């Protein structure tokens, strides 16, 4: 089916529960909230402020991203579903009025917790605070009860995932002497490089922002790499931590790594690139399993945020990666597809047609009782 199909057709194709169109004439707000699944719990996902060529493009993006959130939450073993909100703006970097943000907050509030918001591309901490002034259904805020910046936890999860990758490659999770290339040393990549250096890996880093590379050269003795060619370095693990789509028909034939395991979202340009990596004998740890530390950290807010508990749950990413590799072996599929199977199976096991309903206390006990986010 083409993406120009009717919205309800697109929803049916991927099993979306609900799409809400939001407009507020006074503030100029135009937004789409997509709830893919609440079978495992309330849907959780970021708010993206983006300039879309058309409203239909915004809907297609919200549908795609909300489904991806369902799979990420399910694979991570969370009692959350997948949702996403997109706000149509002319300039994602321009300041937004409080009136527009408040109207968005009210629209989220109307869903009674079926969609729980977090920060995403284009959103600022200030935006999220203003939205949160209208609704309790917002996660990831700074301050008491909030989990704050997720990137250190995301990096920690990536390291644990890499441990499982090394076990699969060499039967031993030790990093000593292993060469890891971190491509993109922003929020997650910088934390990741530090953790790898602490574990005695040989760390090489690349970034279009040279200052970020220099900091790591000084601080941990990382080897600096030019951006062009970083993906093609011979190494044990390549960790894409910048943009999506880096594993594609052009790059895959040139890779010289034994495995790929990084934080970037949507690393595979096409689903078939999963097969292409397997054919080259490169072990791919699926991105949405590897980078789940951020969402695991957010979900911890639902039971009263505790950093140590969030770390313990994030460490289990290594178990999930092992299960994915096992399933890939037994089902003779590449790891990306195995991870998707694992996630879809968990959603299906929660019960066909199971829905989170606002105010239904039983729904909350399905996971753990909500605390910090329960409306007063």
Residues lying near ligand NAD in the complex (CB under 6 A): 150-151, 154, 183-189, 206-209, 212, 227, 241-244, 263-265, 291, 294
The closest residue (CB) to ligand NAD is: 186
Q: How far, CA to CA in Å, does 144 sit from each of 140, 148, 301, 305?
A: 11, 9, 10, 9
Catalytic residue among 84, 178, 250, 312: 84
Which sign does the torsion angle of CA 14, 20, 23, 29 carry?
Answer: negative
Nearer CB in complex with ligand NAD: 163/294: 294
- Nearer of residues 108 and 182 to ligand NAD, judged by Cβ: 182
Query: Of the candidates 259, 231, 261, which has an alpha carbon nearest to the alpha carbon of residue 246?
Result: 231
Alpha-carbon distances, residue 315 vs 44, 189, 248 (angstroms): 21, 18, 29
What is the number of alpha carbons within 13 Å of residue 47 lying toward its C-beta? 31
Rounded Cα–Cα distance for residues 24 and 9 (Å): 26
Note if 84 is an active site residue: yes
Alpha-carbon gap, residue 59 to 54, rounded angstroms: 9
Contacts of 271 (CB under 8 A, 6+ apart): 336, 337
Nearer to ligand NAD, 187 or 344 (CB): 187
Shortest distance, position 107 Cβ to ligand NAD, whole Å:
24
State the Cα–Cα distance between residues 325 and 327, nearest whole angstrom: 5
Q: How far apart are CA 265 and CA 366, in angstroms?
A: 28
Identity of the residue, 145 or 244, whose beta carbon is nearer to ligand NAD in the bound complex: 244
* Cα(34)–Cα(81) distance, integer angstroms: 11
Residue 237 — φ and ψ, nearest 5°? -130, 130
Q: What residues pair up with 117 in beta bridges, in sequence order?
A: 45, 138
Q: What is the DSSP string of 205-217?
A: EE-SSHHHHHHHH
Cβ-based nearer residue to ligand NAD, 120 or 340 = 120
Min separation Cβ 64 and ligand NAD, Å: 14
Task: Closer to ligand NAD by CB, 150 or 334: give it.
Answer: 150
Active site residues: 84
């Amino acid at each position: 089916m083409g993406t120009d199909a009717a919205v309800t057709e697109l929803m049916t194709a991927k099993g979306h529960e609900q799409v809400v169109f939001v407009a507020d004439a006074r503030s100029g707000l135009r937004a789409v909230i997509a709830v893919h699944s609440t079978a495992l719990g309330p849907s959780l996902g970021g708010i993206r402020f983006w300039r879309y060529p058309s409203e239909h493009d915004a809907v297609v993006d919200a549908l795609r991203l909300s489904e991806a959130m369902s799979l990420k939450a399910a694979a991570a073993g969370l009692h959350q579903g997948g949702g996403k909100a997109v706000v149509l703006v002319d300039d994602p970097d321009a300041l937004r009025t409080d009136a527009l943000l408040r109207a968005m907050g009210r629209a989220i509030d109307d869903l009674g917790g079926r969609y729980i918001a977090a920060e995403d591309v284009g959103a600022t901490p200030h935006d999220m605070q203003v939205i949160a002034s209208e609704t309790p259904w917002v996660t990831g805020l700074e301050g008491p009860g909030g989990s704050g910046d997720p990137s250190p936890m995301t990096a920690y999860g990536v390291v644990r995932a890499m441990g499982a990758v090394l076990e699969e490659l060499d039967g031993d999770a030790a990093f000593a002497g292993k060469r890891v290339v971190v491509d993109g040393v922003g929020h997650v990549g910088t934390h990741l490089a530090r953790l790898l250096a602490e574990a005695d890996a040989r760390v090489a880093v690349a970034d279009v922002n040279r200052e970020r590379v220099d900091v790591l050269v000084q601080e941990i003795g990382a080897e600096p790499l030019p951006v062009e060619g970083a993906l093609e370095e011979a190494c044990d693990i390549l960790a894409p931590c910048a943009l999506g789509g880096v594993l594609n028909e052009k790059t895959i034939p040139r890779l010289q790594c034994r495995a790929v395991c990084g934080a970037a979202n949507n690393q595979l340009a096409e689903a078939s690139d999963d097969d292409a990596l397997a054919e080259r004998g490169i072990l791919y740890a699926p991105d949405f399993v590897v980078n789940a530390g951020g969402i695991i950290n957010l979900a911890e807010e639902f039971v009263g945020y505790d950093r140590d508990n969030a770390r313990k749950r994030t460490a289990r990413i290594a178990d999930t990666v092992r299960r994915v590799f096992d399933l890939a072996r037994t089902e003779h599929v590449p790891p990306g597809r195995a991870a998707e199977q694992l996630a879809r199976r968990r959603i299906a096991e929660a019960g066909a047609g199971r829905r989170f309903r606002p105010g239904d206390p039983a729904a909350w006990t399905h996971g753990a009782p909500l605390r910090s986010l329960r409306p007063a």
